[in-house]
Amino acid sequence: MAKRIDGKAIAAQVRAQVKNEVAQMEEEGYTPGLAVVLVGNDPASHTYVRNKKKACEETGIYSEICELPETVSQQELNSLVQELNRRPDIDGILVQMPLPQGLDESAVINAIAPDKDVDAFHPVNVGHIMIGDFDFLPCTPAGILELLHHEQIEVAGRHCVVIGRSNIVGKPMAMLLLHENGTVTICHSKTQNLPELCRQADILVSAVGKAKFVTADMVKPGAVVIDVGMNRDENGALCGDVDFAQVEPIAAAITPVPGGVGPMTIAMLLKNTLTAARRHNR
Ligand code: GUN
């Protein structure tokens, strides 16, 4: 039976550490600040943003949510970001994705000052990650790396298979595993023999967004399985990409959904905001 990797507990440790460091900064007269830009009425995005604000409050980070209607123009959205770029009390800026139809995600990402880009979505930060010389890592892949380190799971020399090639998760995840000296395969919707490739993985990361996509026949006995999915199953219950009941008995370690990768994402956002604040304050 696989060890369940307790993301909730590991995230709580990271948050406690951030809280301590924020308190230290506070004593020096500086409060880190995060602005979260939320456009439109997507219920999931509203939930994510509320959780981010709550996590900031618990850690002592100042936060504000800048809500805009879905009818906002690209120019108004970019102007808001530029105003936040200039504000000395704001260290980090996050624009919650996805944006409503008609708004250009890359245009707004390009408008964020790279030193306030706590999502690490700006091309300058993406380039830093490619080279391996970075201040910020995207929160989800960074959280997964933290889980692997915490569990003392060796990446070097092992075959890591990432399913999904998004700019937010798949691509940066693959690059981070490569920096850790893993041998990395990226699979996607056009991949041939996907189950066969997955079965070769020592570390399998799934970020496809399809319930029960990863079945037992796709997992090598003794593999580490990281599930980034946030889906609803046929009964409407929250579930990941991995058929947990099937895979748990054969994997060496597995992240549950909920309580695996998800809590780490917010913890890493707090960490990135603290990093940004330190750089602005020194
Ligand atoms: N939507 C889903 N994940 C993310 C994330 O990590 N950052 C932002 N800004 N939007 C998201």
- Both 101 and 167 in one domain: the answer is no
- Per the domain annotation, does 254 fall within a domain? yes
Catalytic annotation, pick one of 52, 171, 212, 220 = 52
Residue 186 maps to a domain:
yes
Pocket test for ligand 1, best of 38, 49, 96 (most atoms within 8 A of CB): 96
- The reply to whether 62 falls in a domain is yes
Whether ipTM exceeds 0.90: yes
256/143 same-domain check = yes
| 94 CA: nearest ligand 1 atom | 9
Whether ligand 1 lies within 6 angstroms of the CB of 272 is answered as no
Q: Are residues 100 and 183 in the same domain?
A: no
Distance in angstroms (rounded) separating the CA atoms of residues 223 and 204:
7
Q: 275 in a domain, yes or no?
A: no
Query: Is residue 117 annotated as a catalytic residue, yes or no?
Result: no
Asked whether residue 278 is assigned to any structural domain, the reply reads: no
Annotated binding-site residue? 164: yes
Residue 117 near ligand 1, beta carbon < 6 Å: no
Q: Do 155 and 244 belong to one domain?
A: yes
CATH number at residue 74: 3.40.50.10860
- The pair of structure tokens assigned to 33 is 């600040």
The reply, when asked if residue 166 is annotated as ligand binding, is yes
- Measured at the CA of 250, the angle between CA 247 and CA 254, to 5 degrees, comes to 60
- Pairing state between β 183-187 and 159-163: parallel
pLDDT tens-place string over residues 57-81: 999 999 999 999 999 999 999 999 9
Helices (H), the chain: 7-27, 43-59, 74-86, 105-111, 123-131, 139-150, 170-179, 194-198, 244-247, 261-281
Q: Does one domain contain both 106 and 217?
A: no
Q: Is 13 a residue of the active site?
A: no
Ligand 1 center–CA 38 separation, angstroms:
11
Does the CB atom of residue 95 touch ligand 1 within 6 A?
Answer: yes
Q: Does any domain span residue 147?
A: yes
Does 170 share its domain with 211? yes
Residues facing 92 on adjacent strands: 34
Cβ of 139 closer than 6 Å to ligand 1, yes or no, is yes
Instruction: Tell whether ligand 1 has an atom less than 6 A from the beta carbon of residue 96.
Output: yes
Pairing of strands 3-4, 253-254: parallel
Judge if the beta carbon of residue 46 lies within 6 A of ligand 1: no
Q: Answer whether residue 271 is part of any domain.
A: no
Catalytic residue among 91, 119, 202, 243: 119
Strands (E) across 83-144 are located at 92-95
97 CA distance to ligand 1 centroid (A)? 5
CATH of the domain at 251: 3.40.50.720
**Which pLDDT belongs to residue 89?**
97
Residues 194, 98 within the same domain: no
Same-domain check for residues 94 and 38: yes
Q: What is the pLDDT along the chain (282 residues), one digit of tens a residue?
A: 999 999 999 999 999 999 999 999 999 999 999 999 999 999 999 999 999 999 999 999 999 999 999 999 999 999 999 999 999 999 999 999 999 999 999 999 999 999 999 999 999 999 999 999 999 999 999 999 999 999 999 999 999 999 999 999 999 999 999 999 999 999 999 999 999 999 999 999 999 999 999 999 999 999 999 999 999 999 999 999 999 999 999 999 999 999 999 999 999 999 999 999 999 986
Please choose, from the candidates 110, 143, 107, the residue with its C-alpha nearest in 3D space to the C-alpha of residue 127: 110
Q: Are residues 150 and 256 in the same domain?
A: yes
In a domain, 93, yes or no: yes
Radius of gyration of the chain, Cα coordinates, nearest whole angstrom? 19
Considering the domain architecture, whether residues 176 and 257 belong to the same structural domain is answered as: yes
Instruction: Give the whole-angstrom CA distance, residue 254 versus residue 53.
Output: 28
Task: Provide the domain count of the chain.
Answer: 2
Instruction: Examine the residue annotation and report whether 133 is marked as an active-site residue of this protein.
Output: no
Range of the domain at 47: 29-113
Is residue 147 domain-shared with residue 256, that is, in the same domain?
yes
